[in-house]
Structures are given as C-alpha cells and as structure tokens.
Amino acid sequence: MFHWLEKNPFFFAVGVFVVIAFAGLIEILPNFAEASRPVVNLKPYTVLEMAGKNIYKNENCITCHSQLIRPFKSETDRYGQVSLSGEYVYDRPFLWGSRRIGPDLHRVGNYRSTDWHENHMLDPKSVVPQSIMPAYPYMFTKTTDIDTAYAEALTVKKVFATPYDAPNGTKLGTLDEGRAAALEEAKAIAADMKNKDVKDAVARGEIPQIVALIAYLNRLK
C-alpha cells in the first residue's frame, strides 16, 4: 500500500494532509476549549459596570482604544499581561477594537485610579498634556441609565446562561435589587472622587455617567 502511495503523489499528499489535520485537531481542540472557558474568579458584569460599558460603547471609545493585548514584548511591557480568550466570555459584544489612537485599555484598572479617570475625563490635558482626547464634562451631570443595563444583564442571563446569582458570583436579583446594588457600588466609587456635584448626586440616589464609566474602567484588569 505504501509503495502505491509513493507512486501516486496526489493521493500521497491527500493522505499526509488527512493525517496532519487529524493530529492537529487532536492537539488543538482540547486546548482551544480550555482557553475559551472563563478565567479563574471571573464574574459577570455588575449592573453598574454594564451601564458603564454601554456608555463606553455609546461614546464610541472603541474608535481610539483597543482592548486586546497581543503577545509581543513591546505590548506586554507597556500594557501588562497578554489578553486571554477566557477573559472575554461575558462580553457581548467584544470591544477588541482595531485602532490605537489612544492606549490599549484592557488592563487599565491595574494602573489607573478612580481619581485619575475623574481628572482625565473632565480635562484630559490636565493629566496627559499631549492628549488629543476630547473632554467629557457632561458625564458629570448626565444620569446613568441603570434600568437598560439591568435589562441587558437579565437578557444575557436568560439567553446565554450567564451565571448571575450563582454562589460567590455577581448578584442580579430583581430590578429594585439591581438598582440598589448599583447605587451602593456608585457610592464606593464617588467616595474616591473629588467632584462635589457627583458626590451630592449619588447621595440623592442618582448615578452620574462618569461614575458608571469609572466602574467599568476599574474592572478592566
């Protein structure tokens, strides 16, 4: 049989391809399945983080910022550990991006603080003099849409079996419980901010957009 294959290059090539393809599947598929599982301790977005992600999308931040650190030393030296597929399992849609007019943000929660984001969003040049990013002062007064964020979280829970309300996981609960949890999270963030209007708004039970956006950015680690 092997002599016959040697005399028929076409069938020999097909046989080699089949063997290599089969071996590749045996080697690659298990690793791919493992890599696509949630990384250890990864939790679904809280309602406030989901609201912040929606603001990030609505403001089209993905136009200038990627969220994908590639396995190159120049990137890991600047931005941190390479991105893992298992870190995106609760992202719908993914916000990988394709341009970097500004820096990658996938690990921004590891090296930027709440007050840094506060100053940067209000006046980018005050913290990065060469910045070309626009200011977003209206985020400090515009109220966050928490109900839509809750509805989105509830949708991915029911449609994609996102493990909300699992033991030791992110709690979703009812709409009122989601609102209450978002407000408590907002209070913790506002406590680290300097803007008095933001603090007063949160104290009244309102959540300015800047607070939700910071909650989302702080999650990116």
Residue 165's contacts (CB-CB under 8 Å, 6 or more residues apart) are 157, 171, 172, 173
- What per-residue confidence (pLDDT) applies to 14? 82
Indicate if 20 and 105 belong to the same structural domain: no
Q: Is there a contact between 122 and 135 (Cβ–Cβ < 8 Å)?
A: yes
- DSSP letter (8 states) at residue 137: G
Indicate if 169 and 69 belong to the same structural domain: yes
**Calpha distance 219→161 (Å, rounded):** 21
- DSSP letter (8 states) at residue 46: P
Write the CATH number for 118: 1.10.760.10
Indicate if 104 and 191 belong to the same structural domain: yes
Indicate if 157 and 67 belong to the same structural domain: yes
**Calpha distance 69→201 (Å, rounded):** 36
Does residue 19 sit within a domain?
Answer: yes
Indicate if 134 and 52 belong to the same structural domain: yes
pLDDT(205) > 80: yes
Indicate if 165 and 68 belong to the same structural domain: yes
Indicate if 111 and 190 belong to the same structural domain: yes
Does residue 40 sit within a domain?
Answer: no
Does residue 41 sit within a domain?
Answer: no
Indicate if 111 and 25 belong to the same structural domain: no
Does residue 175 sit within a domain?
Answer: yes
pLDDT(1) > 60: no
Does residue 42 sit within a domain?
Answer: no
**Calpha distance 192→210 (Å, rounded):** 13
Could you tell me the end-to-end alpha-carbon distance of the chain, in angstroms, rounded to an integer?
57
**Calpha distance 85→37 (Å, rounded):** 8
Q: Look at the alpha carbons of 98, 102, 104, 105 in this order and tell me if their dihedral is positive or negative.
A: negative
Q: Is the peptide bond before 93 cis (omega within 30 degrees of 0)?
A: yes
- Label residue 15 by pLDDT band (50, 70, 90): confident
Does residue 23 sit within a domain?
Answer: yes
Indicate if 113 and 17 belong to the same structural domain: no
Tens of pLDDT, residue by residue over 108-130, are: 999 999 999 999 999 999 999 99
pLDDT(5) > 80: no
Minimum mean pLDDT range among 7-21, 65-79, 101-115, 133-147: 7-21
Indicate if 98 and 22 belong to the same structural domain: no
Domain count across the chain: 2
- Label residue 158 by pLDDT band (50, 70, 90): very high
**Calpha distance 75→107 (Å, rounded):** 11
208 forms beta bridges with 143
- What per-residue confidence (pLDDT) applies to 157? 96
Indicate if 98 and 186 belong to the same structural domain: yes
Indicate if 30 and 72 belong to the same structural domain: no
- Which residue range is the domain that position 154 belongs to? 47-219
- Label residue 50 by pLDDT band (50, 70, 90): very high
Residues in the chain, total? 221
The pair of three-digit structure tokens given for residue 126, joined into one six-digit string: 């005050």
**Calpha distance 45→103 (Å, rounded):** 23
- Helix axis angle, 175-190 to 196-203, nearest 10°: 150
